[in-house]
Structure 1
Amino acid sequence: MSDEIKHECGLAFIRLRKPFSYYQQQYGTVMWGLNKLYLLMEKQHNRGQDGAGVAAVKLNVEPGYPFLNRIRSNANQPIADIFTKINNEVKELEQFQSDLLKHPGLMKGHISFIGELLLGHLRYGTQGKNNVEFCHPFIKRNTIPARNLALAGNFNLVNTDELFALINVEPGDFQKQSDLAAMMEVIHHFAVKADEESPGNLDVLKVLRKAVPLFDGGFTVGGLIGNGDSFVFRDAHGIRPAYYYMDDDVVVAASERSAIRTVFNVGENEVQELMPGMGLIVKSDGNIVVDKILEPKERRACSFERIYFSRGSDEKIYRERNALGYNLSDQILTAINHDLKNTIFSFIPNTAEVAFFGLQKGLDDYLKKVKIERILSWGKDFTEEKLAEMINRKIRVEKVAIKDVKMRTFITADTSRNEMVQHVYDITYGTVEKGKDTLVVIDDSIVRGTTLKESIVRMLARLEPKKIIVVSSAPQIRYPDCYGIDMSKLGDFIAFKAAIELMKEKGKEDCLQEIYDKCKELQRLDQLHTENLVRLVYKPFTTEEISDKIAQLITPKGLTIPVQVIFQTIESLHRACPTNTGDWYFTGNYPTPGGNRVVNKAFINYMEGKNVRGY
């Protein structure tokens, strides 16, 4: 993705089902569970690099000894930092009491994070600051085991204020900035009530069924309870991803199927999807329940997971990204007037590469048809040379754009910083015939367009092609997200800027004030959640008009080479990714009422000149 956006988070949950002596004998180490947790987090490191955290609960601990431990880090390499510190504790023990390493029970007693229940988290700071205090898991401590809770998740909530009010909690400055804090308070509130009503017999399923319906957002959340119970649950629309696997040794859950498959070396069908509205609960005695927490609603799994966020090592995601590129081939052929001879194709590294392979296949399929039709039209009127020339025609593919080392913005002057940004990408010289070749480059999505304008298009123009066509494997991003992706300011979106420019050009600026007035009236009536009024901004214009205006906006001043932008259509997106139909950032069709409230609030903020998040 040319424009970096903060997004998602990653969850890793492990419940060991055997005594530590078993892992010592079977796998040669008491650290087997922690080793697997480390791998599970590393295989999902793409999901969060602002921080990480690990919590562990030990079963059957003698009274007075710690049974819940947590470690968090916001270092540059937070996963490595955490597990280095855990390993240092083991090394220290090995140095002074080496015999203990041969005794699993003693190891459990001396090493803080050797626990049967393990919870790992990778964080992108979509809400709150990037201080270590905001890293998951959050914990609640109590002298009564069942009232201890560790919680972590991949989510955003849009109703945190209401949640605090519901349980009569006055949030502090820290809590106001964290939706996990609100979720934690609510779950803990119902857990304490349940424990008061039936001490020592906590019904986790019942607690979650009371707490989770109160959350407005998209979420996958994991939790550990001090009494040895643990759980993972998912929102009713399945917005955020969740997968699990279990065998005689372990129960594991994570945000990505491929991570589980790789770490535990299991087949695709052995890893199950935790379906929308469901919960995976492991009781302290090891009994497992997969049951309904929420009434499932229309599946609206996030399509950005398939376009960009999830690792492409999952075979289904790989095929879908391939299809996204393939589906663009007809639009591109039309844009270049089917002139493959004088067109070079490339991609913006590195996440658009798989979509590029699909595009290449779509173009190649077209070229094969052309070859067959031409050869058949010749009848017997051809020479060996003519036939060879036709058969050997290929799609012209080059690695034109190269992502260079990350440029540090240590220079504060705007003009100097812009000069630095230009060099984030480099080009391969000599790949384009000047003034003759059209250059087509595919990106997985276009959010703000800043990097395209300030770096990519400028660099591509140095090759002096006849025309530059930028292709997005995602549709136009028009609306904020509030379910785990940090895209909540309308003014950031190049598609929104294009619509505003078109309104100004066509003398429709009064429409913006009318939409603003309607939003303010809904806000006054506490009805912001009832409809998405921002759709009215885009209504007067066709998709093509907005795409053409985006092309103008990403063209650097003074550049005379024509620039065109092509986007994936909504229809072809859903053909490529049939199980992930969540498309609210493209269509404005939000799965929960909170989405409408966020988009309308974002528009109010834009009109009032407030550069703040919409929730």
Structure 2
Amino acid sequence: MSDEIRHECGIAFLRLRKPFTYFHQKYNTALYGLDKLYLLMEKQHNRGQDGAGIASVKLDMQIGVPFMKRIRSNVGQDIAGIFKHLQKEIEDIEKLHPTIRNYPDLLKGYIDFLGEVMIGHLRYGTQGKNDIEYCHPFIISDINPALNICLAGNFNLTNTKELIQFLGEDQVNNPTMDSDLFAMIRTIHLFLKEEVSKENSSINWKKILSESAAKFDGGFVVEGICGNGDGFVFRDAHGIRPAYYYINEEVVCVTSERAVLMTTFKTPFEEINELPPGHAIIVHKDGSYHIEQILPEAKRAACSFERIYFSRGSDQEIYNERKQLGRFLSEKVLESIQYDLKNTLFSFIPNTSEIAFYGLVKGAEAYLNEIKIKRIQSWNKDFDDEKLREMIERRVRVEKIAIKDVKMRTFITEDSARNEMVQHVYDITYGTVRAGIDSIVIIDDSIVRGTTLRESIIKMLDRLGPKKIIIVSSAPQIRYPDCYGIDMSRMNEFIAFNATVELLKDHKQLHILNEVYQECIEAKKANTLSSKNYVKKVYKQFTVEDINTKIAQMLHPEDVNAEIEIIYQTIENLHKACPHNTGDWYFSGDYPTPGGNVVVNNAFINYMDGTKNRAY
């Protein structure tokens, strides 16, 4: 994605179902669990770079010996930093006891994080501050082991303030109480205390999680461990955030992405399962597990951005879906270039759009192959080898036009000079374009703000001298804010919204903005903001093509000579390509939870008021 957006934390839940002696005998290491946790987190590094954290619980520890530990980092290279800390702890012990690795049970007593139940978390900050106190996991300690709980997740809640009011928490004593994880862990702990007070032989996690999750409005996948040795992962009813699990006789493991489980445990696609929406996987101290429904069934609305951009493309389903997204765009691109493949060059920016690029090229090749067949058939055998070879060897022209440079830093503060530096984020490949003859087709994952396109990519491509630059987005127009885990919360961040406002100005229809604003204000006073997305009315005046054309005008710098055209994916084709991830609220405005409507309406109020506050 050329416009970087912050998004999508990652989780790793790992429960060892065998004693450490088993792993030492089979794999020649008692650190099997920690090794796997490191790999699970590193293979999801794309999901969080603001911080990382892990926590573990040791089973059957003697009274007075610590059994739950947590470590967090937000200083950069956080996964490596955390595990270097653990490695140093092991090395320090080995200096005193050189053969301690051969005694797993003894090693467990010395190594803080050598537990049977572990969680790991990778953070992208979308709500709250990015200091260490906001990094997951959060922990609540208690003298009773069963009341110790540690929680981390991939989520945002839209009703954090309401939860805080329900809990009656004191902000003075809880500086992180504006965090949705704070509200969540306190809510779960409240119901946990009620359950533990009954003094049953085991904790009824289905009841606790059902009562807790019923109070959460948002998209979430949450992992937790309890001081008594139990652990769990639960998912929202709409399946907004992703979760996959792998279980065998040795482990129970849950992550945000399927491919990481396949890689870590060297297991085939068929052995990885999706955690159903509204369900929890609960693992007890004895290693037994069960999957329970904790929320009423709801319409599936799994995040489509996972398939477009967020998740790694090494997942075979995601790989095929991204190719299909590109292929669906090929017809519009062919129309735009008037089917002149001879004088058109195809490429992609950034690297994450490469898979969709393959699909786009495949679509163009399919058209070209049909042309070849018809031409050859029309010759009625009136051709020689050279003529036939020339026709068969025609190809869609593909080049690596742009290469992202190393991350550039500048201490220049003047805007004009800074904009000049921004243009050099990418390097171009000179000599690939025939100036004044060729058109360039560039595919991107999505276009959010358009800033990088206007200030860098388009200017850079224009230096090659193309006749026309066509920017193709494998995602539809982003029109509305997200509130379930992606950092897109302000209306003026979206080029599609800004273009629509410009169209309203052009057509002398700015009164529509005021009408929508008044509807939102009245609904807010009546406490009915959750009932409807009023902002949809802003877009109803214009077609997708109208907005595309205005976006192209807005992204066309004055000093660029090439014609600019923008082509977006349609929502219909998005659903055809990604049939299992139908959540599209940032494109359509159809939010799966009432809190989503509250967020979009508040975001519009903030826009009209000229404030930069987040809408949730």
TM-score (norm: length of structure 2): 0.99
1:516-535 CA-to-partner distances (Å, cap 9, x unmatched) read: 01100011111111100111
Decide whether aligned partners of structure 1 residues 409 and 197 sit closer, same or farther in structure 2, where only a CA change above 3 A counts. Answer: farther
The structure 1 segments of at least 4 consecutive aligned residues displaced by more than 4 Å after TM superposition are none
1:339-365 CA-to-partner distances (Å, cap 9, x unmatched) read: 101101100021000000111111001
SS at 1:328 equivalent? helix
> What is the letter of the counterpart of residue 339 of structure 1?
D
> What is the letter of the counterpart of residue 254 of structure 1?
T
User: What residue number does 1:578 align with?
Assistant: 579
User: What residue number does 1:282 align with?
Assistant: 283
8 Å contact kept, 2:164–2:177 = no
What is the CA–CA distance in structure 1 between the aligned matches of 2:461 and 2:298, rounded to whole Å? 46
User: What residue number does 2:132 align with?
Assistant: 132
Structure 1 residue 381: Cα displacement: 2.6
User: What residue number does 1:226 align with?
Assistant: 227
Once structures 1 and 2 are overlaid, which stretch shifts more, 370-379 or 30-39? 370-379
8 Å contact kept, 1:164–1:171 = no
SS at 1:53 equivalent? strand
Decide whether aligned partners of structure 1 residues 610 and 176 sit closer, same or farther in structure 2, where only a CA change above 3 A counts. Answer: farther
Asked if 1:216 corresponds to 2:217, the answer is: yes
Asked if 1:457 corresponds to 2:446, the answer is: no
User: What residue number does 2:569 align with?
Assistant: 568
Structure 1 residue 413: Cα displacement: 1.7
Structure 1 residue 417: Cα displacement: 1.2
Structure 1 residue 199: Cα displacement: 5.2
Asked if 1:21 corresponds to 2:18, the answer is: no
**Counterparts of residues 3-42 of structure 1 (less than 5 Å):** 3-42=3-42
What is the CA–CA distance in structure 1 between the aligned matches of 2:403 and 2:306, rounded to whole Å? 24
8 Å contact kept, 2:157–2:217 = yes
1:428-448 CA-to-partner distances (Å, cap 9, x unmatched) read: 011011101011100010000
Structure 1 residue 175: Cα displacement: 2.8
Asked if 1:119 corresponds to 2:138, the answer is: no
User: What residue number does 1:323 align with?
Assistant: 324
What is the CA–CA distance in structure 1 between the aligned matches of 2:328 and 2:369, rounded to whole Å? 17
Structure 1 residue 170: Cα displacement: 3.1
**Counterparts of residues 246-285 of structure 1 (less than 5 Å):** 246-285=247-286
**Counterparts of residues 494-505 of structure 1 (less than 5 Å):** 494-505=495-506
> What is the letter of the counterpart of residue 136 of structure 1?
H
User: What residue number does 2:442 align with?
Assistant: 441
Structure 1 residue 167: Cα displacement: 2.5
What is the CA–CA distance in structure 2 between the aligned matches of 1:446 and 1:49, rounded to whole Å? 22
1:581-607 CA-to-partner distances (Å, cap 9, x unmatched) read: 000000000000000000000000000
**Counterparts of residues 31-430 of structure 1 (less than 5 Å):** 31-172=31-172, 174-198=175-199, 201-430=202-431
1:102-127 CA-to-partner distances (Å, cap 9, x unmatched) read: 21111111100000000000000011
User: What residue number does 1:535 align with?
Assistant: 536
Structure 1 residue 27: Cα displacement: 0.7
8 Å contact kept, 2:161–2:178 = no
1:244-292 CA-to-partner distances (Å, cap 9, x unmatched) read: 0111111100000000010000011101100100100001111111110
Asked if 1:478 corresponds to 2:504, the answer is: no
User: What residue number does 1:515 align with?
Assistant: 516
What is the CA–CA distance in structure 2 between the aligned matches of 1:462 and 1:22, rounded to whole Å? 63
> What is the letter of the counterpart of residue 57 of structure 1?
V
- Count residues in correspondence: 615
Structure 1 residue 477: Cα displacement: 0.4
What is the CA–CA distance in structure 1 between the aligned matches of 2:268 and 2:297, rounded to whole Å? 27
8 Å contact kept, 2:160–2:178 = no
What is the CA–CA distance in structure 1 between the aligned matches of 2:540 and 2:386, rounded to whole Å? 55
> What is the letter of the counterpart of residue 488 of structure 1?
S
Structure 1 residue 171: Cα displacement: 3.6
What is the CA–CA distance in structure 2 between the aligned matches of 1:170 and 1:160, rounded to whole Å? 14
1:62-116 CA-to-partner distances (Å, cap 9, x unmatched) read: 1111000000001210000000001110000001122322211111111000000
8 Å contact kept, 1:157–1:217 = yes
8 Å contact kept, 2:462–2:561 = no
8 Å contact kept, 2:159–2:217 = yes
What is the CA–CA distance in structure 2 between the aligned matches of 1:522 and 1:376, rounded to whole Å? 66
Structure 1 residue 56: Cα displacement: 0.3
SS at 1:582 equivalent? coil
What is the CA–CA distance in structure 2 between the aligned matches of 1:411 and 1:214, rounded to whole Å? 48
What is the CA–CA distance in structure 1 between the aligned matches of 2:560 and 2:370, rounded to whole Å? 37
Decide whether aligned partners of structure 1 residues 197 and 409 sit closer, same or farther in structure 2, where only a CA change above 3 A counts. Answer: farther
SS at 1:502 equivalent? helix
What is the CA–CA distance in structure 2 between the aligned matches of 1:184 and 1:355, rounded to whole Å? 39
8 Å contact kept, 1:41–1:122 = yes
What is the CA–CA distance in structure 2 between the aligned matches of 1:272 and 1:435, rounded to whole Å? 53
> What is the letter of the counterpart of residue 80 of structure 2?
A
Structure 2 stretches lacking a partner, 5+ long: none
What is the CA–CA distance in structure 2 between the aligned matches of 1:369 and 1:296, rounded to whole Å? 47
SS at 2:53 equivalent? strand
8 Å contact kept, 2:54–2:72 = yes
1:161-208 CA-to-partner distances (Å, cap 9, x unmatched) read: 111122322344633431000001100000011111225532111111
8 Å contact kept, 1:146–1:200 = no
1:12-64 CA-to-partner distances (Å, cap 9, x unmatched) read: 00000111111111111110000000000000000000000000000011111
> What is the letter of the counterpart of residue 407 of structure 1?
M
SS at 2:155 equivalent? strand
What is the CA–CA distance in structure 1 between the aligned matches of 2:58 and 2:388, rounded to whole Å? 73
SS at 2:210 equivalent? helix
> What is the letter of the counterpart of residue 305 of structure 1?
E
SS at 1:351 equivalent? helix
What is the CA–CA distance in structure 2 between the aligned matches of 1:610 and 1:504, rounded to whole Å? 21
SS at 1:49 equivalent? coil
What is the CA–CA distance in structure 1 between the aligned matches of 2:577 and 2:405, rounded to whole Å? 31
SS at 1:197 equivalent? coil
TM-score (norm: length of structure 1): 0.99
What is the CA–CA distance in structure 2 between the aligned matches of 1:402 and 1:284, rounded to whole Å? 51
Percent identity between matched residues is: 58
User: What residue number does 1:492 align with?
Assistant: 493
What is the CA–CA distance in structure 2 between the aligned matches of 1:381 and 1:174, rounded to whole Å? 83
- What is the RMSD of the two structures over their aligned residues, measured on CA atoms? 1.0
> What is the letter of the counterpart of residue 19 of structure 1?
P
SS at 2:342 equivalent? coil
Asked if 1:544 corresponds to 2:545, the answer is: yes
SS at 1:523 equivalent? helix
What is the CA–CA distance in structure 1 between the aligned matches of 2:488 and 2:52, rounded to whole Å? 21
8 Å contact kept, 1:355–1:473 = yes
Structure 1 residue 231: Cα displacement: 0.2
Structure 1 stretches lacking a partner, 5+ long: none
8 Å contact kept, 1:30–1:104 = yes
> What is the letter of the counterpart of residue 551 of structure 2?
I
> What is the letter of the counterpart of residue 333 of structure 2?
I
> What is the letter of the counterpart of residue 332 of structure 2?
Q
What is the CA–CA distance in structure 2 between the aligned matches of 1:286 and 1:20, rounded to whole Å? 14
What is the CA–CA distance in structure 2 between the aligned matches of 1:292 and 1:181, rounded to whole Å? 24
> What is the letter of the counterpart of residue 486 of structure 1?
D
8 Å contact kept, 2:410–2:418 = yes
